[in-house]
Amino acid sequence: MSPDSISALRLSLQVAVTATAINALIGIPIAYALARRRFWGRSLVDLLVTLPLILPPTVVGYYLIVLLGRRGVLGRPLYELTGWTVAFTWYAAVIAATVMALPLLVRTVRAAIESVDRDLERAAYTLGRSEWRTALEVTLPLARNGILAGMVLAFARALGEFGATLMLAGNIPGKTTTVPLSIYTAVQTGERGEAVALVAALTALSCVVLIAANRLGARAS
């Protein structure tokens, strides 16, 4: 395997792990709010979080450029202020992967939270727990399997993310070229050996993650 492929593998893992962590951090609260609370703009949040699942990744990538590119809605003030732009950095790959993976995590976790018997939460309230403590001590522990499943799906989605990443982060070897981009490049330039090695590596990695997730799920139930 060439040094470029190895760096692509390392980058992909780094991006997928970071994107999954961010997903858990923002996705679980969003899923909880959608499952348990009625608030203004709830349908809008639901729509926005789900859209990346429906839209072609390149379209999502385009929106991200509009938002975060050097001349973007948020990107321009940031560039003028600091002279730095997120586009074409590995952070851009993380953002693209996070956005693309978010619907899978939110939907899975939301379904898991909705399946928790509300009487358990009510019981906790009458026993003195605030909503926040109840979520931490009752709801989320009982939704644990769904949360794990959501994180596995998010990780897999982030690992395989291609279109949106290409749009926002580009394909800069050693910097933003993740494994899927690297495979694409290898096939385009006729380096079949490299392509096969990376395909095998990604397949193996996905299998390991799935088996680990199944083991965790089996232990939890």
Partner 1 sequence: MTSRLEVSLRKSLPGFTLDVEWSAGDGVAALFGPSGAGKTLTLQCLAGLVRPDAGRIVVGAQVLFDAAAGIDVPPQQRRVGYVFQGYALFPHLTVRDNVGFGLRGRRRADRTRRVEEVLGRLGLEALAERHPRELSGGQRQRVALGRALATDPALLLLDEPLSALDLPLRQALRDELRAVLTDWGIAAVLVTHDLGEAYRLGDRIVVYEEGRVIQAAPRAELLWQPSSRSVARIMGIRNLLQGVTLKATADRIQLRWRGQVLEAVNSPTRSYLPTPDSPIAFYIRPEYVRLIRKDRGAVDFAHHMNLMSGTVVREVDQGTSWTLCLRLDEPGEPAQGDYDLELEVPRLVYEILEIERDRHWQFSLHRGAMHVLPSA
DSSP 89: S
d(CA 18, CA 41): 28
Nearer to partner 1, 40 or 132 (CB): 132
d(CA 67, CA 60): 10
Q: How many residues make contact with partner 1 (CB under 8 A)?
A: 15
Q: Is there binding between residue 83 and partner 1 (CB under 8 A)?
A: no
Using the rule CB under 8 A, give the single segment among 9-17, 87-95, 114-122, 164-172 that binds partner 1.
Answer: 114-122
Task: Tell me how long the chain is.
Answer: 221
CB of 119 to partner 1, least distance (A): 4
CB of 133 to partner 1, least distance (A): 8
CB of 107 to partner 1, least distance (A): 23
Structure tokens at 112: 């898991």
d(CA 135, CA 120): 11
Residue type at position 103: P
Which residues in 6-65 contact partner 1 (CB under 8 A)?
Answer: none
Q: Is there binding between residue 216 and partner 1 (CB under 8 A)?
A: no
- SS3 sequence, 136-156? HHHHHHHCHHHHHHHHHHHHH
Structure tokens at 8: 């692509």
Q: Is there binding between residue 1 and partner 1 (CB under 8 A)?
A: no
Which residues in 127-166 contact partner 1 (CB under 8 A)?
Answer: 127-130, 138, 141-142
Interacting residue with partner 1 among 16, 31, 94, 124 (CB under 8 A)? 124
Using the rule CB under 8 A, give the single segment among 24-32, 37-45, 121-129, 206-214 that binds partner 1.
Answer: 121-129
**Sequence-separated (6 or more) residues with CB below 8 Å from residue 130:** none
Chain centroid, CA 37 distance in Å: 23
CB of 28 to partner 1, least distance (A): 17
Interacting residue with partner 1 among 1, 125, 189, 215 (CB under 8 A)? 125
